[in-house]
Amino acid sequence: MLNWTYRELLAAPQQLLASVAAVAGAFALVLFFAGVFTGESRQIVALIDKTDADVWVMQKGVGNMHMTTSFLSDWKIDAVAAVDGVAKVTPILYLNSVIQAGGRSWFSYVVGIEQGDGRAGPWKSAAGARLPGPGQAIVPDIFASDAGLKIGDKVRIAGRDFTVAGFSADTFSMANSVSFVTLSDLADTMSSVGAVSYLLVDARPGVDPAVLAERIRTQVEKVNALTRQDFSRRDFSIAVQMGLEIIWMMTIIGGALAVLLTGFIIYSHISDRERELAVIKALGVRDRVIWAAILVQALVIGLLAYGLAVGLIYLAIPLTEALVPKVSLGMSGDSLIRTGGLAVVVSLIAAAIPVRRVLAVDPVTAFQQ
């Protein structure tokens, strides 16, 4: 029976290749949408994850950065610095705004950093200055390319013109981008002199960030303090609720299409062999052996298709970055495992339906056709 299984798979190589390619296309669609979801979700919290801070301090009642506002009186910088276990405090201003340049507009998070302090600045430079000076801005390289910007051009942020001093890399996505100006310039633009948005806190060696966050919340009035990991998790959760759920729904739709197409391809492949299976049963081969043979065929098709889909996606990642740089695409182990599991389950279910029908037929009818 094992020989029959492999013989049937290889008897029509063109049909096998077509089946594998069709199923691979379905799984590649699932992996692509999952890759977009992964890439965009990483970019949503890139500023938090890339900024080296153990604890983030913000206005009381605020627990995230995405689409929110936080204001702290600047005297709280010294108050937080005085808490036992704090090694360093860095203030930043933060504004949800729109960048206008070259006839194009794009939503951006604008971060105001202390002049010359790169701790909260761009984590990767593409061209020009890495940090902004007075009246200057660092904008994402992809936005700059889209708007036709060059170093020295003007961009308009919150009604004020800034000179482009440099381009940052890895700070752009469909969901959001991040731009940088000096803290004093952003304070003037926002009319918020004497206030900051967030405080980035370093813990002294040996101090648990979670314990330090609790101390800050207790000892400094009207502030909230969260570890970087907790702050990132909360911000990601809010971002998903406000936009990335659309990509998630696309992933679900792609998965449903993959299930239907995969089921149809494997069902057709097995159904074409119903007469042979009936003959095999009439010759006395046990049902469980027939089950095993067909399930092996289905698994081979499903797993070959899945392997091809993974290869296609890893080929698509650099191509997408080169041809459609606005799309952030990334793969995670979880999505690969989920899709691989889907391939196995769908293949087995699709094979089980025709086999059950064959095994329910009187074997004698195979010789009467």
| Residue-wise DSSP of 49-92 | HHS--SEEEEETT----TT----EETHHHHHHHTSTTEEEEEEE
Q: What are phi and psi of 101, to 5 degrees?
A: -165, 140
End-to-end CA distance of the chain, in Å?
23
Residues 28, 40: Cα–Cα separation, whole Å = 18
Closest CA to 355 of 284, 283, 282, 298: 298
What local confidence, expressed as pLDDT, does residue 153 receive?
Answer: 94
Closest CA to 351 of 36, 9, 7, 3: 9
What local confidence, expressed as pLDDT, does residue 229 receive?
Answer: 94
C-beta of residue 179 within 8 angstroms of C-beta of residue 111:
yes
What local confidence, expressed as pLDDT, does residue 24 receive?
Answer: 86
The vertex-131 CA angle with 129 and 134, nearest 5°, equals: 100
What local confidence, expressed as pLDDT, does residue 7 receive?
Answer: 61
Following DSSP, what letter does each residue of 91-120 receive, concatenated?
Answer: EEEEEEEEEEETTEEEEEEEEEE-TT-GGG
C-beta of residue 304 within 8 angstroms of C-beta of residue 20:
yes
Following DSSP, what letter does each residue of 285-350 receive, concatenated?
Answer: --HHHHHHHHHHHHHHHHHHHHHHHHHHHHHHHHHHHHH-TTS-----HHHHHHHHHHHHHHHHHH
pTM: 0.72
Q: Are strands 72-73 and 195-196 parallel, antiparallel or unpaired?
A: antiparallel
What local confidence, expressed as pLDDT, does residue 273 receive?
Answer: 66
Classify each residue of 319-339 as buried b or exposed e, where b means 16 or more C-beta atoms within 10 Å of its C-beta: ebeeeeeeebbbbeeebbebb
CA distances from 291 to 102, 229, 284, 353, 358 (A): 64, 49, 14, 11, 10
What local confidence, expressed as pLDDT, does residue 66 receive?
Answer: 79
The vertex-356 CA angle with 352 and 362, nearest 5°, equals: 155
What local confidence, expressed as pLDDT, does residue 188 receive?
Answer: 92
What local confidence, expressed as pLDDT, does residue 67 receive?
Answer: 74
Average pLDDT across each block of 10 residues of the chain; the chain has 369 residues. List them in order.
59 75 83 78 84 94 85 94 96 90 85 89 92 95 88 92 94 83 94 91 96 96 95 81 62 72 72 68 71 78 88 85 70 80 79 68 56
